[in-house]
Structures are given as C-alpha cells and as structure tokens.
Amino acid sequence: MKVAADAERLRSQGVDVVDFGAGEPDFPTPENIKQAAIRALDQNFTKYTAAGGTMELKQAICQRHREDFGTAYEPSECIVSVGGKHVIFNLTQAVVNPGDEVIIPVPYWVTYKDVVNYAGGKCVFVETDEAAGFQLSAALIEKHFTPKTRMVIMNSPSNPSGAVLDQAEFIKLFELCHARGVYLLTDECYCHFLYDSAPFSIASLPDAKKTVLVAGSLSKTYAMTGWRIGFALAPPALITAMNKLQSHSTSNPTSIAQKAAVEAMLGPQDSVRAMLAEYRKRRDFVVARLRQIPGVTCAEPRGAFYAYPNIGCALGRNGVQNTLQFAEKALNEARVAVVPGEAFGTHAHVRISYATSLKELARGLDRLHQLIAG
Ligand SMILES: Cc1ncc(COP(=O)(O)O)c(C=O)c1O
C-alpha cells in the first residue's frame, strides 16, 4: 500500500512511473458484462436484494462452477459477497475460533494473515521450495498439523508466486484435511489463469463438500475488480453463519453488479481465454527478461499474472537492506513500482505484476536491469 501511495504521488507530480504493482487486469470489463449492468439500471434493478445475493446469481454461480469443474453445488451452499476478499474474511470469521491454528503456505497473499489474526486464530506458516518454483506438497503441510489445526488455506495459482499445486498433491492434501475434519479453504481467485494445466477445483472430488470451502472471485477472471463480486461455496450451516455476518455488516453486494455477474457466469467465456493467451505471452517475456539481469533468479510462474523474482543480489549494498527499501529505491530512482516480498512473507523477492502491456513491461524491466546491474 505504501509503494502504491508513493507511486500515485509521483504520478500526480507528472513523473513517468512504470507500474508493476497493480494486482488487477489491465483489460476492460468485457462488453457483454457492461451491457448487462446498463440494462439493470434501465430496468431500475437498483434496490436491496437478499443479503447473500440474488437467487438468480447463486444459481448462475453454481452452474458456472459445475460446467467449469464438474462440481454439484446448490444455491443453499452459495453466498455472494462484496468481492473475494469479503468472502475470505467472512469464511474465516465463521470458522476460526480464538486459539485455532490456520496453516498458510509461504509466500502468501497478505490478507490471509490478517483475517486469521482478526478472528483470534494463530497463523502457522509453511515454507515452500523456491528452487522448485515455490512448490508445495501435502507432506510439507502434514508436518504442521496439530490438534488445534482448524483450517488450511490454499491459493493455487498463487499470488504472489504463480505456483500451482499439482493435482495429485492437492488430492493428498484434501485427504489429510478430510480425515482430520480440518477445513480446506481453496482460494480460486486465479483458477482460470493456468499456463500448463487444465482448470481444476478440489471441490469436484466426491467427498469434498463437508470440508472444502471455495472462495471465488469475478475480479480477475472477468476483469471486474471494481464491481466487487465474490462468492463462497460451502456447507449450508457455514453459509447461514456468513449470511448473518453479512446481513449485519455490508448487506447485499450491489444489485447492478449482481446482474452483471449473472452475465459473466452465463454469457460467452471467450474473453477469459483471450486474457489468458495475452498473459502467457507476457509471462514468457517477463521471466526471460528478468533472468537476463545478473544475479536475479526467477521461478517460472505456472498461473496467475505475477512474477516473483529473487533480487537478493541487490540487498546489503547501496544502503538497501530489505525488499521494502529496494522497492523504495526502484520507485524513487528507477521510477518502477514493485511490491516488496516482505508483504508476502519472504525476504529476498519483489512481486511484479505483468497485467500490463508488453511495451510497459519492456520499459520497466530495462529500468530494473539498470538499477540492479548498473
Ligand atoms: C489471492 C487472492 N485472493 C483473493 C483476492 C480477492 O479479490 P477481490 O476481493 O477483488 O475479489 C485477491 C485479490 O487481489 C487475491 O490476490
């Protein structure tokens, strides 16, 4: 947030900043989705809806998830919230009691830690193997189970590393959780952006419904970050608890955005494929270019739209001791915004979002090269 605020300040002063910070698609929301929102306005669909979302949208979400992943959820197992972040917040508050342990692989999306802390839970971090592309295995997680373990959070593909959990390992992880009655929260925010494997949801396993908690989001898949629509697929008792929480906090997600979301779920899906093809080109370019910078290594992201290079070679010199200081220097001297790895639980990395044009990527990476090697 600090880097984003500083970048914004520089930009407002007319400074030419290349922004690799933004965690959102640079594509506009597809036209058919925008038109659905315009129709909703024209038809005065502008009033309260049910707090947990309209029946129409819950049905559409269940249908989309069934078609994409072969699951079989009913609207009673679905809630629509104000973005995926809201879903993860509500799910965590509904599940985690003070003292409960929640297992979180490192590097992690920043929010997990804070929502677990807010619920009074204890985060148990599991290191992954950078040399193997930040790969995780069920065995690694298993070592961290205790009688207090309440939930495991999986984010595949991962923000920030782009790591994808192999299907066989995901199934083993599910079996470990299931056998212990531990919830497996699967954050499917980037599940459609996979470069070398087919879309997969652990919720499609026959026994998954009792312990798997799906947190879904339309933000990245349909370039709808500002619309704020996310959903959970979870056991009905948990959906009821989340509904209670939501009805006394935010109430319903915006009615117009819900209509747009129905179109996203049921309309043509070609925009998702087009975005993925573009991200793949950018991923290939960014990783190759980063690896040309002397001393920098970069694991190959297998999904999402982030690269997570190790810039440890630039630490401990020129007054830069940590990645926050590196990010500040990158912004102030090279005019490139990157997110420091400390935010994600590692100490030698920065996150580069390649949800920006190839031209911007080339410009920004030339500047970073100069900063690190110059
Ligand atoms: C891993 C991950 N999960 C969930 C979200 C939630 O996105 P939103 O609240 O926009 O749906 C994000 C957004 O950056 C994310 O990176």
Q: What is the pLDDT of residue 183?
A: 98
User: 244: closest CA among 95, 98, 100, 90?
Assistant: 90
Asked whether residue 210 is domain-assigned, the answer is yes
Q: What is the pLDDT of residue 323?
A: 96
Asked whether residue 236 is domain-assigned, the answer is yes
Asked whether residue 31 is domain-assigned, the answer is no
Closest atom of ligand 1 to CA, residue 86 = 9
Q: Are residues 203 and 316 in the same domain?
A: no
DSSP percent split of the chain into helix, strand, coil, nearest 5 = 45, 15, 40
Q: Are residues 170 and 277 in the same domain?
A: no
CATH number, domain of 323, equals 3.90.1150.10
Q: Are residues 71 and 187 in the same domain?
A: yes
* List of residues 6+ apart from 176 with CB closer than 8 A: 138, 141, 142, 145, 182
> In angstroms, what is the span from residue 347 Cα to ligand 1's centroid?
22
Contact assessment for residue 82 and residue 127, using Cβ atoms and an 8 Å cutoff: no
Q: What is the pLDDT of residue 107?
A: 97
For the Cβ of 159 lying below 6 angstroms from any atom of ligand 1, the answer is yes
For the chain, which ranges sit under pLDDT 70? none
Q: Are residues 231 and 289 in the same domain?
A: no
Containing structural domain, residue 197: 43-266
For residue 107, whether the previous peptide bond is cis, meaning omega lies within 30 degrees of 0, is yes
Q: Are residues 145 and 66 in the same domain?
A: yes
Closest atom of ligand 1 to CA, residue 87 = 9
Q: What is the pLDDT of residue 280?
A: 97
CATH number, domain of 70, equals 3.40.640.10
Asked whether residue 108 is domain-assigned, the answer is yes
* List of residues 6+ apart from 333 with CB closer than 8 A: 371
Q: Are residues 322 and 231 in the same domain?
A: no
Q: Are residues 190 and 303 in the same domain?
A: no
Q: Are residues 221 and 188 in the same domain?
A: yes
For the Cβ of 83 lying below 6 angstroms from any atom of ligand 1, the answer is yes
Q: Are residues 242 and 97 in the same domain?
A: yes
Q: What is the pLDDT of residue 22?
A: 85
Query: How many structural domains comprise the chain?
Result: 2
Predicted confidence (pLDDT) per residue in 102-134, tens digit:
999 999 999 999 999 999 999 999 999 899 899
Q: Which of 206, 236, 266 is the last residue of a domain?
A: 266
**Which of 79, 112, 193, 220 gets mutated to test ligand 1 (max ligand atoms within 8 A of its CB)?**
220
Asked whether residue 361 is domain-assigned, the answer is yes
Q: What is the pLDDT of residue 59?
A: 98
Question: pTM for the complete prediction?
Answer: 0.97
Q: What is the pLDDT of residue 4?
A: 78
Q: Which of 223, 239, 266 is the last residue of a domain?
A: 266
Q: Are residues 308 and 198 in the same domain?
A: no
Q: Are residues 159 and 240 in the same domain?
A: yes
Q: Are residues 288 and 340 in the same domain?
A: yes
Q: What is the pLDDT of residue 69?
A: 97
